[in-house]
Chain A
Amino acid sequence: MDLTRLSAAALSEKLTAGEVTSVEVTQAHLDRIDAVEGAVHAFLHVSDDVALATAADVDARRAAGQSLHPLAGVPIAVKDVVVTEGMPTTAGSKILEGWVPPYDATLVERLKAAGLPILGKTNMDEFAMGSSTEHSAYGNTHNPWDLERIPGGSGGGSAAAVAAFEAPLAIGTDTGGSIRQPGAVTGTVGVKPTYGSVSRYGLIAMASSLDQAGPVTRTVLDSALLHELIGGHDARDSTSIDEPLPALVDAARQGALGDLTGVRVGVVTELSGDGYQAGVSARFAESLELLEKAGATLVEVSCPNFRYALGAYYLIMPSEASSNLAKFDGMRFGLRVEPTDGPVTAERVMSATRGAGFGDEVKRRIILGTYALSAGYYDAYYGSAQKVRTLIQRDFDAAFTQADVLVSPTAPTTAFKLGEKLDDPLAMYLNDIATIPANLAGVPGISVPNGLSDDGLPVGFQILAPAKADDRLYRVGAALEAALENVWGAPLLAQAPELEIAR
């Protein structure tokens, strides 16, 4: 039995039943990492010792009869934008090379408290800015379906790690699609929870009003299990929702039974058609049929302001990022570069450090945001973008009066080749056309793998729900997953090519 092929839920059962130990499970994943990392490069840091120590501790506590969290002993990978005490955290940037945080993000505290061994930190676009992970300062991550292709971004490392069976679970963050789009192009499940559902304390911020951490897994149920663990109120995040989470795991289990009678599924007119690859559209249509067969009612809904979402996003996100990234200045932590000629003043050290430490995409967004917030431009840019945001929220409100969930393809295309869009930022930005509206409105979304396109690469199906109704994602997502696997006879990842094992 290959422990790395099991879902987190299955591992949880075996661990609880005493059929395997966490040390065995963790070691199996560390071995897998060892074997495939040369090809995939999903990790920036692998924390063997720490993970095994946690595993041994969980095993001991289990042996002593302590009651443990269902996911205790199931290993996890964490995106490198989440701070981890005593473990390097770079956010994919040179400017944080070697920085070891003195504290844990709230979600990491919760992982540790529940006894999940942390395998390491996953690769990402620098400061989560990108859709391909090519903007990492530490090299590309390769899509396990085709090593010549991108794994999506910014959370390409977490998605690839899960797709390549290096980890059963991973943490991602999603500001404009950074969990869902990598999920779509790697054939994995990714969830962006309702804004405020998972604490942002300890997430290195890109855009505070859009950022949200969430699960990256291979099954819908695993995402629900992880979401329930990391979610819920946190007094250290003022934007955290002070209410209990809906019953997510229950919703996933109910959905897996396959009955969606009475569920109204809204197909968003504006998130299909031109610009969507033929194979993507075909798989989307097939999935709609499966939902209908499961008893759901399909309705067509229009969200006319979604067409302005990308424009608004590329004003709000860089504006907030320009301010959030100001703290990286070489004064207190991380990279410090002193100018080689001229006086060494604080201002010149800041300038030299930021010049050397930030990559091109980060600089591009800082410049965009600084401009958009400037006196005289604020109303036209940032102010207008916030108005668009309100209109998009109203579109969602109206659509959710007609439908319980909204659906669309997650990304317009399958994974593109490494380097293909690197010199064309606008083409890169268009990858997130279907995922961005959810971030602007704060509503939750999931991407569920729903087949392969004509090029043999995975495609994702996006489900969106009203704020604080994340349970609907899991119910509909699990129902679709069950219906698809019924057709395929196995999970989609069973069709992924075997990676060459480097020994």
Chain B
Amino acid sequence: MSATTVDLVDYDDAIRRYDPVLGIEVHVELGTRTKMFCAAEVEFGGEPNTQTTPVSLGLPGALPVVNATAVEYAIRIGLALNCSIAESCRFARKNYFYPDVPKNFQTSQYDEPIAFDGYLDVELDDGTIFRVEIERAHMEEDAGKNTHVGGSTGRIHGAEYSLVDYNRAGIPLVEIVTRPIEGAGERAPEVARAYVQTLRDIFRALDVSEARMERGNVRADVNLSLRPTPESPLGTRTETKNVNSFRSIERAVRYEVSRQAAVLDAGEKVIQETRHWHEDTSITTSGRVKSDAEDYRYFPEPDLVPVAPSREWVEQIRAALPEMPAARRRRLQEAWGYADAEMRDVVNAGALDLIEATVAAGTSAAAARKWWMGELARRAKADEVELDALPITPAGVVELQSLVDSGRINDKIARQVLEAMLAGEGTAEEIVTAKGLEVVSDDGPLLAAIDDVLAAQPDIVEKIKGGNMGPIGAIIGGVMKATRGQADAGRVRELIMERIG
């Protein structure tokens, strides 16, 4: 890589003078049992080249057959994105030579996508709804995976040799292409991130993919161009690939805005090209130039007949669609009585499923939020893990809260129990028993403790008897201290009043 420094314009400055236009292509790997065009079973993490057939290896004579489940999943996605579903559509061959493409063409849909003309309403962090127009969603097959061995960076440049794993070759993909996303302005990075995040949630709700970004189940290519004003014609775009986390999407857009603004400020032209996002350095670098001369020689795939989903089938799929994440959030918020801001925090913290499960198991919505957004959120943040990665389940939280609700422990002790649960010391019940943390509800020991404290503080007793209730807190504090916090403070107060008369 050359050592030239890249000029960047401050983001806020850039966005004051340029209007960004986004275009996002999202690939999602479908979670079908077998591949797009053959019966090779798909499982994450298999030994290289064990999940193949003559078809997915592109052996001479092999022929593709369309996976009906993949078509159903693609239709589900299309319907969830408010698209029209084609009555008949064909696959095409995208011809290019590359070792990870076994046939040296990718079987994909070209001018006849299965789903087209839709939209997705994306909720931004402050609750604003931003509508993204969907141009199309089409089916295609994934390529194999190259590993470059010998170079210092794992890149092809400088590598001694390369290995190809065809396990991934032929895994069904759906590619979702937006129309130009205009009007996002300074919120372009957030819109891009929220759009992909919303899609991810939809894929999971539809049960069409595990949709794990870190495994590459969902991959986003972000196109960005700048223009002086929203009325100007579209500028030249770049396509940033390899953006594999939500955070990166936001940062990559910011970076490209700053970089392109600098190019334009210098009176130069943005080069239409593919750029690669580098997670480590948070920059994009130039990939191959995407000239119009690039020619994939598309033509209809003659080995496949058109896919013609019957209207009855499409309507069956539509009727069986699960609730979409946005509708579910609205429904849950209403049921739980959370304020807008509270609900947003819950969603952003990734606590929605956890709280739903906790509430479903019998805990109040308020209590569930108190735990997940309180102690547990703090703990997750401190440990730098996702909430659902903490070593506690909704059932564990329910058990803990039920101990509080039944008065066997108080809130303060509960926090202590939670710590122990997270440390793997057992269930809430086991911990309370093992550590003797149960609230002391037997009046005997309490009275003894109260008598000790009262005896030590005769002047306070006099004041209380004289009608001055102020100092009673000191007595209660003394008792709580003597019982190591396990006493029920309300009961202690009652007993003190009885004793003093």
Q: Which chain A residues have a beta carbon within 8 Å of chain B's beta carbons?
A: 82-83, 89, 91, 96, 99, 101-103, 105, 200-205, 207-209, 235-239, 319-320, 322-323, 326-329, 331-333, 346-347, 350, 370, 373-375, 378, 382
What residue of chain A has the Cβ atom nearest to residue B65's Cβ? A238
What residue of chain A has the Cβ atom nearest to residue B38's Cβ? A236
- CB of B59 within 8 A of CB of A238, answer no
- CB of A332 within 8 A of CB of B58, answer yes
A83 to B62, CA, bound (A): 9
Query: In this assembly, does B338 line the interface, its C-beta being within 8 Å of a C-beta of chain A?
Result: no
B39 to chain A, nearest CB (A): 9
Q: Which residues from A are CB-within-8-Å of B162? A: 346
What residue of chain B has the Cβ atom nearest to residue A354's Cβ? B97
- 1/0 per residue, CB under 8 A from A, across B327-349: the answer is 00000000000000000000000
What are 16 of the A-B contact pairs (CB < 8 Å)? A96-B60, A202-B61, A204-B60, A205-B60, A238-B64, A239-B303, A322-B95, A322-B297, A323-B93, A323-B95, A323-B299, A326-B104, A327-B60, A327-B102, A373-B95, A374-B297
B230 to chain A, nearest CB (A): 32
A89 to B61, CA, bound (A): 11
A162 to chain B, nearest CB (A): 23
- CB of A326 within 8 A of CB of B59, answer no
- CB of B304 within 8 A of CB of A327, answer no
SS of B interface (majority): loop
Most buried by B among A101, A235, A323, A378: A323
- CB of A102 within 8 A of CB of B297, answer no
- CB of B299 within 8 A of CB of A239, answer no
- CB of B60 within 8 A of CB of A101, answer yes
Query: In this assembly, does B246 line the interface, its C-beta being within 8 Å of a C-beta of chain A?
Result: no
A329 to chain B, nearest CB (A): 6
Q: Which residues from A are CB-within-8-Å of B102? A: 327, 332
Query: In this assembly, does B47 line the interface, its C-beta being within 8 Å of a C-beta of chain A?
Result: no
Most buried by A among B60, B102, B297, B298: B60
- CB of A347 within 8 A of CB of B97, answer yes
Q: Which residues from A are CB-within-8-Å of B303? A: 205, 208, 238-239
Q: Which residues from A are CB-within-8-Å of B57? A: 332
Query: In this assembly, does B204 line the interface, its C-beta being within 8 Å of a C-beta of chain A?
Result: no
| Given A238-B303, A238-B304, A326 contacting B61 (CB threshold 8 A) | no
A326 to B297, CA, bound (A): 12
A205 to chain B, nearest CB (A): 7
A69 to B105, CA, bound (A): 41
Q: Which residues from B are CB-within-8-Å of A204? A: 60-61
Q: Which residues from A are CB-within-8-Å of B104? A: 326-327, 329
B479 to chain A, nearest CB (A): 80
- CB of A91 within 8 A of CB of B297, answer no
| Given A323-B297, A375-B295, A378-B299, A201 contacting B63 (CB threshold 8 A) | yes
A360 to B103, CA, bound (A): 22
What residue of chain B has the Cβ atom nearest to residue A351's Cβ? B97
Q: Which residues from A are CB-within-8-Å of B60? A: 83, 89, 91, 96, 99, 101, 204-205, 327-328, 333
Q: Which residues from B are CB-within-8-Å of A322? A: 95, 297
Query: In this assembly, does B350 line the interface, its C-beta being within 8 Å of a C-beta of chain A?
Result: no
Q: Which residues from A are CB-within-8-Å of B263? A: none
